Every structure is written in structure tokens, then in C-alpha cells.
Chain A
Amino acid sequence: MPAQVLFVPEEILFKACPISQITKSQSYIFLPPSDPTAPTWSEPTKCIWLPHYSEAKFLLEKYLNDLTHVHHVIHIPSVWQLLEDIYYQLGSANQNVANLGPDKVALVLAMLTSAIHSQDIPTANSQAIILTTSTLSVLDHCKSSGPGSLEEIQAMIILSFVVSHLEGLSRRFWSLFSEAITMARSLGLHLVDDDKRKLLKSLPAQDSVKAEIGRRVWWYLVASDWFVPPFHVVRQLSGADLT
């Protein structure tokens, strides 16, 4: 008997439009009924807007040139391939989320968001906030629809970086950061070079590019975790004296 799906994720749809027209992180649209004989009423579907292909290419290039250096948790040829795949799917008649893989969309969106945030234009921050919300929304969808993936962790790291610039080390930031560590463990990224790793079938082969990206991701998270302030402010006068 197939496992019963208890929590059915909300349907989600991806569409592309010029970035200047993305003024909301998501919208709800009515799709034409797939079955013409079905009743005419229907529920609207949640839609996440992505920038146009040419804009996305420009932004990814910017991310790779200017920003990835501060964490580099990705593999450049793989993310270019990902971008091509996603926009190929978006252009095709069947824009089904299952084909696209929401985790992969989240990773691309996170990189584009980071690039938008770093632009030297007055609207950079407001656009970055819209796209951050979109990416969070896609990550949320991933949570309810799959077991977690390397791309999701990469997306969370890159997005947490943007969040920290916009609002500091906020609750949103820590939520992304700690979930990234938890998910990395659940995928077994801390055991990539373990002799008994065969128990974890989800892990890629040790000599594969994917395993190496896993090591980059894991060590980035670990180093961030260990970076405690090496000196602690003595706060005997804090509290009542200062508030």
C-alpha cells in the first residue's frame, strides 16, 4: 500500500516576467481548466515570479563575479546548467513544479536575490526584499514536499547572507542558518568521508563533484558555527544600567 500523503503541499507555479514588473513576492492566478468539461469555477494558484531569462543570466553572472567569493558553497558549471534547465522548463508548455524541482528554483532565486541586493541602484534593497520573500516562500514549499536536498541548503546559506545584510542576525537569519545545519546532518553531509557511509544511500559517491560540493557546504556551516567571538564582553554593568 503506498504511503498516505498526510500533508498535501499547496500547489505552486513559476512564471517569468521582466524584473521591473515583479512588485510582489507572489500572486495568485487562475489557470485555464485542463479539462474543458470541468466546472468553470476554480481556485487560484500561487505563482512565484522569476526575472526574465536575460536578466537572470546577467544577475547570475554578477553573483558569480562579485559575491560567491565570500562563501563559495556552489559549483559554477552546475549552477549555470541549473539556470538553463529552469528557464527551459519555464519556456515549455508544461510549467509543472515537479519537473522544475522547487529546491533548484530556490537555489537560483537565492543567487539572483543576492545579486540584486548588491546592485548599486536605489531600488536594490526593496527588490531584494521582494525576492527574498519569494525565495522563502519556495523554501517553505520544499519543506512540505520533499526530504531536503543539497540545493536547498545552498539556497538557505546564500539567502541567510542576504537576510543578514537587510535586517541583521535576525530570527529569520538564525532560522535559515540552523535549519541548514540540521538538514545537512539529515542528508549525512557530516559523514561524506565515513567508512560506514554505505548505510547512507542518499550520499553521492566520494569521488564525485556532488560530494565535493557537500564538503564545501558542510565546512562553510561548521566554520560559521565555530566562529564565536574569541573574547566575551564583560557585562557587569549592562542590563539596568543601560536600558
Chain B
Amino acid sequence: MFTRYPGPSEGIYTVNPLHMCVRQPLHANDEDLFDGMEASHVDKPLSEPTVMSYNLQRIRLARICLEITDSTPFRSRRLTHEQIMEFDAKIEGFINTLPEFLRPDEYKMPAARTNREAIGRLSPGIVIQRYILNSLLHAQRCKFHLQYLGQMSAAAEQNSTEYLASREICLDTARLIIRFERALEHENVAFAKVRLKFSGVLYCIFMATMVLGLDLCLNKKSTPKAKIPNGAKHGHNQSESIDEERKAEVVHACRILAQARRESPMAAKLLDSLSKTLKKYQLTIPPLDRPSTDTTDCQQASTSSEMTLVTDSPITLPSNVVDELNFRDHGIVVDSTSGLNDTANEMSDISYIDELWSTFNDGIDFEALCQGGWFSDIESTF
């Protein structure tokens, strides 16, 4: 899970594929291995889960990455949009050929989803392998298209379809990453409880949160041209409900990150780096900037957010999301029956999103934000 992040070694690999003579590891469980074994007898079909399933798929994905690196001119470090879409198709092909047990339900139509019994049959090890592989995969794919998200407002004006395609992929992958998180939280696997300690996991969630947050702002401008179908009668209502859904998505993603801060020094560093970067754009994040938020603070925060609220409609979230939001900044889970505090907490988290969002609407240069190294700032802390 150690992908390489931007830096001086960006676009460079050290192992030449021509300078090695090692066949891929066998797709086999440890107890199947013995001295003097015949490889072809031990090797299992990829459709059967083993302890090596994720590793072998990871190698397949690494080969695609190698191909991408080799196709990218070193001087410009840029691919054309056509090339990007070509490689994206390869990644999609990779996803489509994953063995069934490594394909999360989130890829499938509700009717085709595995029933609970079948999920129960997957070992915890396979649940972990599936989660790691798919999060990593989508973080890579998301990043592939990220530059176009920043150019969306310009693209919408030009009605540029290629930019729209990349933005859709960016959003879809970010949503999938958050959905994988939600799905794993419901799995009865010890790894799920401690996963936020892992920097690779944090990286995926962070990327997804940024993309969703940015798009929430960008989409305000691009909605009329990009989203609403011509002549749709209920276009306005639909877009409102989509907006609500999107806010809930970002709130959920931020909630995961706030939780992560208590699990990992890395998350604390990341959030710190994020808030510093945001400050450069005159944007502050109330609950994260204040070490402790007492009720007065929260009320103030909620009042200020009401004043800067851009949307006319109040934000309503499904009750389970609100419940999940009731984490205090200092790590105490507040009982949902504790009246006043409850509302205050809920408001402080929502006001965080609103402030972020409203400040974005006040004319931040999105292109500069996306291209100018916001993500590099975050990534350089890894």
C-alpha cells in the first residue's frame, strides 16, 4: 500500500522489469507450500480466495502503473486527456476482471448484491484484502483525473465533455471510497476498528473528502450546465435533493477524518496541514481549529454559520448520520439523549462544512487550489 507520492522521485522507479528473472508468487495458502513442490499443482485458480489474492492483484495493478510511467514524457510529466482516458479504460478493465470475492457490493446494482449469508462466508482476511485493494485502486484512479476537477468551472463554460468525463470519474471514485468505509464499519472484523491508524487508508479517505468537498463548491457554479437535463420538470427539486445528499456525503467523510485524528499521529498531521493550507485561502475550520469546543463556542459557531449560510434550505441529514456526528472534538462520544449538547455538536460539525463551503463560494480561485499544490501539500506530509 505504499504508493509513491509527489516529490523529487515522482515518475521514477528503481526496479527495471528487464533486470529480473522471478516468476510471480504462487496463488496459494501457506499450508499448501512444501519443499520440493510442483508449482503447477500448488497454484490455485484466481477465482478462489487465498492469502495471496490481494498481493497478486496488486502486482497486476502495479504493471498498469509501470506502463503509465513509461508512457509519460519525463520532461513534461503530463499525459494528454486521451491517454488518460485510455489508461482509465485499462483500470476499468482491471476492476471488471477482479475475482468475484474481491469485488465489493458497491460496484453492483442492488438486486445483484451478495446476500448477507454469502458475505458471512468470506473470511476476515478476505474482507480486509478486498477493502484495501479497492480503496487503493480508486484512490489511484481518482488522482489520475484530479487535475480536471480543478478546471471544471472553465470546462463548464466551454461545455468540454472530456473534462466532464474526468470529473464524473473523480466523483464516482471518491464516493466509492467513502462507501467502502461505511461498508467496512459494518463488518465484524477487528481491522475495521483500527483501520484509521494506517496511513494508506487515511490517504484514500483524505483524497475522497477533498474531492467531494471541492466538488460541492464547484458544482454550485457548474450545475446549470452540467447537471440539470434540458426540460426536466422537477430539475430544481432534484438538484436540491442532490445538494443535500452531497452535503451529507462530505459531512460523513469529515466525520471519519475527525475520528481518525484520535487514532493516528498521521491524521493529526494531515488535518493540521489541511487547515494551514486552507488558512492561506482565508478559510478556517471552526471545530478543528479549536482545541475544545464548549457549548458557547458551538453556539457561536452555529450562529456565524447561519449568517454565512448560502443555501436557503436547512440541512437535514438522516438520523444515523447525525448520530455519528455526535463525536466531540476531544474524543468523547456524546450520548444522543443529552439534549442541548447534542444539538450543539451536530451544529458545530455542520457549520464546519458550511463555512468551508460558503468561503469557497466567496470567490476562491478553484483552479489555483487544485493545480497549485493543495494536494501536494497534503501528500508531502506522508
Contacts and interface: CB of A to CB of B under 8 A. Distances in A.
A and B: partners? yes
Interface of A: 62, 65-72, 75-77, 117-120, 124-125, 160-161, 164-169, 173, 177-178, 181, 189-194, 197, 205, 207-209, 212, 214-216, 218-239, 241-242
Given A76-B30, A125-B265, A229 B55 contact: no
B155 interface: no
A208 B35 contact: yes
A119 to B, nearest CB: 7
Interface residues of B, number: 85
Contacts of B381: 168
Contact of A230 (B22, B26, B87, B377): B87
Interface in B1-35: 1-6, 10-15, 17, 19-26, 30-31, 33-35
Contacts of B280: 242
A166 B266 contact: yes
5 contacts: A168-B382, A209-B34, A215-B26, A226-B65, A238-B376
A197 B190 CA distance: 43
Most buried by B among A69, A120, A178, A212: A69
Given A164-B2, A226-B69, A233-B146, A209 B35 contact: yes
Interface of B: 1-6, 10-15, 17, 19-26, 30-31, 33-39, 51-52, 54-55, 58-59, 61-66, 68-69, 72, 77-79, 84, 87, 124-125, 128-129, 132, 140, 143-147, 189-191, 193-194, 197-200, 264-266, 269, 277, 280, 368, 371-373, 375-377, 381-382
Q: Is the interface of A mostly helix, strand, loop or mixed?
A: helix
B371 A227 contact: no
A229 B19 contact: no
B78 A225 contact: no
Contacts of A228: 3-4, 10-13, 65, 68-69
Contacts of B19: 190
A169 B269 CA distance: 12
B212 to A, nearest CB: 18
B5 to A, nearest CB: 6
A177 B14 CA distance: 11
B289 to A, nearest CB: 19
A224 B55 CA distance: 11
Nearest to B37: A207
Given A120-B193, A223-B62, 8 more contacts: A72-B52, A165-B264, A189-B22, A191-B21, A207-B35, A223-B55, A229-B4, A229-B6
Contact of B24 (A165, A208, A215, A241): A215
A57 B356 CA distance: 48
Given A207-B37, A233-B376, A191 B371 contact: no
Nearest to B36: A207
A190 B193 CA distance: 37
Most buried by B among A68, A221, A233, A242: A233
A208 B36 contact: yes
A193 B3 contact: no
A231 B79 contact: yes
B269 A168 contact: yes
B147 A231 contact: yes
A219 B24 contact: yes
Q: Which 5 A-B pairs have the closest CB atoms?
A: A237-B372, A238-B373, A223-B62, A194-B21, A190-B20
Nearest to B78: A232
Contacts of A120: 193-194
A168 B266 contact: yes
Contacts of A221: 15
B11 A190 contact: no
Contact of A229 (B5, B31, B33, B277): B5
B372 A72 contact: no
Contacts of B1: 70-71, 161
A169 B200 CA distance: 10
